[in-house]
């Protein structure tokens, strides 16, 4: 299955296709009874309305910006986010152990620039230029952009949960044996918005999630 507007095909398993198929698109009577339990992907019209009326994404770009830049802004079924000029690049100078329960910030070197070089087979943390406010009945998934993916640069972001808000911390991996350049202020990944069949009983803000309203590049917390 391929989502229109995605930078490359998104292949889903048959059960997941049935789960994500928008309401009304099921042509098989056997699946009609499941229509009330689908989680449809949201279109550009919905994203634009939520941003204009509820500030879901700030700043919000209502079109696709290119012009010599790695594209960002709204697409048919998603939103291409930008990376800010704040990076933490992994270094082994201090030879510390990377421990998610007791993270040593000496593992990174801070870089504040419009371009960031990630060493071979290394990674960096960064943040988005956009601030997000996720609706209570929506889950957001982040996927990469083909421009970077075809260069061996992979962006990993965990799901944006219902009611979470803040600047998104990005994990950017250079899987190549060569240095890789990242351009601040330009597109870095794409967000896909999925609406649940009902609001969750407990959302991220309800349980006081540890990354709620995070600002800047945020390191692991316990």
Q: What are phi and psi of 127, to 5 degrees?
A: -135, 165
Q: Is 199 a catalytic residue?
A: no
The residue annotated as part of the active site, out of 52, 58, 171, 199, is 171
Q: How many CA atoms lie within 13 A of 87 on its CB side?
A: 25
**Residue 5 in tokens:** 């507007």
* Residue 39 CB partners (closer than 8 Å, separation 6+): 19, 20, 139, 194, 195, 196, 197
* C-alpha–C-alpha distance, residues 73 and 190, integer Å: 9
Backbone angles phi, psi at 87, to 5 degrees: -130, 150
Based on its alpha-carbon atoms, the radius of gyration of the chain, rounded to whole angstroms, reads: 19
Catalytic residue IDs: 171
């Amino acid at each position: 299955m391929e989502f229109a507007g995605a930078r490359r095909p998104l292949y889903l398993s048959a059960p997941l296709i049935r789960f994500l198929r928008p309401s009304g698109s099921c042509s098989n009577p056997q699946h009609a009874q499941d229509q009330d339990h689908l989680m449809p992907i949201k279109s550009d019209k919905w994203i634009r309305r939520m941003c204009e009326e509820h500030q879901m994404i700030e700043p919000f770009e209502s079109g696709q910006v290119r012009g010599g830049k790695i594209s960002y802004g709204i697409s048919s079924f998603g939103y291409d986010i930008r990376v800010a000029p704040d990076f933490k690049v992994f270094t082994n100078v201090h030879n510390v152990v990377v421990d998610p329960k007791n993270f040593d910030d000496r593992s990174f070197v801070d870089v504040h620039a419009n371009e960031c070089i990630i060493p071979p087979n290394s990674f960096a943390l960064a943040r988005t230029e956009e601030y997000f406010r996720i609706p209570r009945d929506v889950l957001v998934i982040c996927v990469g952009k083909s421009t970077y993916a075809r260069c061996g640069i992979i962006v990993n972001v965990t799901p944006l949960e219902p009611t979470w808000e803040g600047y998104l911390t990005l994990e950017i991996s250079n899987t190549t044996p060569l240095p890789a350049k990242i351009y601040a202020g330009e597109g870095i990944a794409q967000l896909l918005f999925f609406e649940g069949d009902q609001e969750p009983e407990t959302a991220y803000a309800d349980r006081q999630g540890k990354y709620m309203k995070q600002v800047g590049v945020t390191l692991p917390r316990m």
